[in-house]
Amino acid sequence: MNTQRFFAIAFLTVLFSACTPEVGSDAWCVHMKEKPKGDWTANEAGDYAEHCLL
């Protein structure tokens, strides 16, 4: 049972991480512009300022 759980979690991690654009890329900047500002984390706000505004 534990092996199945491990593979399920590993699969979901790879699946969801593959859908996220790389931080600082043009696609990521567009994604962040469309995301409500209230949903941003402090790290996302800092990365946005560093990569998309400057």
Mean pLDDT by 10 residues, the chain (54 residues): 78 67 94 96 96 92
Residue 44 located in a structural domain: yes
Residue 54 located in a structural domain: yes
Full residue range of the structural domain in which residue 33 is found: 21-54
Residue 8 located in a structural domain: no
* Domain count of the fold of the chain: 1
Residue 2 located in a structural domain: no
pLDDT in the model for residue 14: 64
- Inter-CA distances, 17 with 1, 31, 40, Å: 24, 15, 17
Residue 9 located in a structural domain: no
Residue 38 located in a structural domain: yes
Q: 20, 35, 21: which is closest to 45 by C-alpha?
A: 35
Residue 5 located in a structural domain: no
Residue 4 located in a structural domain: no
